[in-house]
């Protein structure tokens, strides 16, 4: 397998990931047959992809389902994105965070019990960070699309 720590996957690894996107519970045997490699290859590749942080296998829930209060926070910093990222890793309500280019430096998905809980997360865990200069909040109202089956992985070779 080519060195995949730089981001691009070789064709076999990309095909394995694509196969799992349609059904994360698919067996090694089914993936091997679909991709045209051995079960052992699938097992080894998946282990390496997970260890390198390229993917994880989890159950995906509806972010606006019953009992869920989910929002996206648009965060501006004074350039301290790494400081913000390090702090966000320790906030249990943060389910997703990514550094971005554009008007905001970090997008943060937060799942909370209700509006009061969300406010406590924003005020207690995010706005208190020295590097944070602004936080805008978008509360999810209705799920319009949730899919992890699309997209293209960059491949090598």
Answer yes or no: do 92 and 131 share one domain.
yes
What are the tens digits of pLDDT across the range 48-78?
A: 999 998 888 877 777 787 778 999 999 999 9
Answer yes or no: do 92 and 42 share one domain.
no
Q: In this structure, is residue 107 part of a structural domain?
A: yes
What are the tens digits of pLDDT across the range 81-134?
A: 999 999 999 999 999 999 999 999 999 999 999 999 999 999 999 999 999 999
The DSSP-derived string for 77-128 is ESS-HHHHHHHHTT-TTEEEEEE-SSS-SEEEEEEESSHHHHHHHIIIIITT
What CATH number does residue 76 fall under? 3.30.70.920
Answer yes or no: do 77 and 106 share one domain.
yes
SS3 of 145, please?
coil
Answer yes or no: do 126 and 74 share one domain.
yes
What CATH number does residue 33 fall under? 1.10.10.10
Answer yes or no: do 73 and 110 share one domain.
yes
What are the tens digits of pLDDT across the range 6-44?
A: 557 889 998 998 888 878 889 999 999 999 999 999 999
- Tell me how far apart the alpha carbons of residues 96 and 49 are, in angstroms, rounded to a whole number: 19
SS3 of 7, please?
coil
Short-list 64, 50, 60, 66, CA closest to 17: 50
Answer yes or no: do 78 and 135 share one domain.
yes
Q: Domains in the chain: how many in total?
A: 2
Edge-first strand listing for the sheet containing 69-77: 94-99, 106-112, 69-77, 132-139
- Tell me how far apart the alpha carbons of residues 41 and 19 are, in angstroms, rounded to a whole number: 14
Q: In this structure, is residue 63 part of a structural domain?
A: no
Answer yes or no: do 73 and 48 share one domain.
no
Q: Based on the number of CB atoms within 10 Å of its own CB, is 118 exposed (0-12), middle (13-18) or buried (19 or more)?
A: buried
Answer yes or no: do 74 and 133 share one domain.
yes
What are the tens digits of pLDDT across the range 120-136?
A: 999 999 999 999 999 99
Give the range of the structural domain holding residue 39, as residue numbers without chain letter: 11-52
Answer yes or no: do 29 and 78 share one domain.
no
Q: In this structure, is residue 33 part of a structural domain?
A: yes
Q: In this structure, is residue 36 part of a structural domain?
A: yes
Q: In this structure, is residue 34 part of a structural domain?
A: yes
């Amino acid at each position: 397998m080519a060195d995949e720590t730089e981001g691009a996957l070789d064709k076999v690894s990309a095909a394995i990931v694509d196969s799992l996107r349609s059904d994360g519970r698919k067996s090694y045997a089914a993936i091997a047959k679909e991709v045209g490699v051995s079960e052992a290859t699938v097992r080894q590749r998946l282990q390496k992809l997970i260890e390198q942080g390229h993917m994880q296998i989890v159950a995906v829930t509806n972010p606006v389902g019953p009992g869920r209060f989910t929002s996206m926070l648009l965060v501006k910093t004074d350039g301290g994105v790494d400081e913000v990222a390090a702090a966000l890793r320790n906030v249990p309500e943060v389910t997703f965070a990514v550094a971005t280019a554009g008007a905001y430096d970090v997008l943060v998905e937060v799942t909370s019990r209700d509006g009061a809980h969300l406010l406590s997360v924003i005020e207690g865990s995010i706005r208190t960070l020295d590097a944070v200069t602004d936080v805008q909040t978008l509360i999810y109202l209705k799920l319009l699309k949730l899919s992890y089956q699309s997209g293209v992985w960059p491949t090598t070779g």
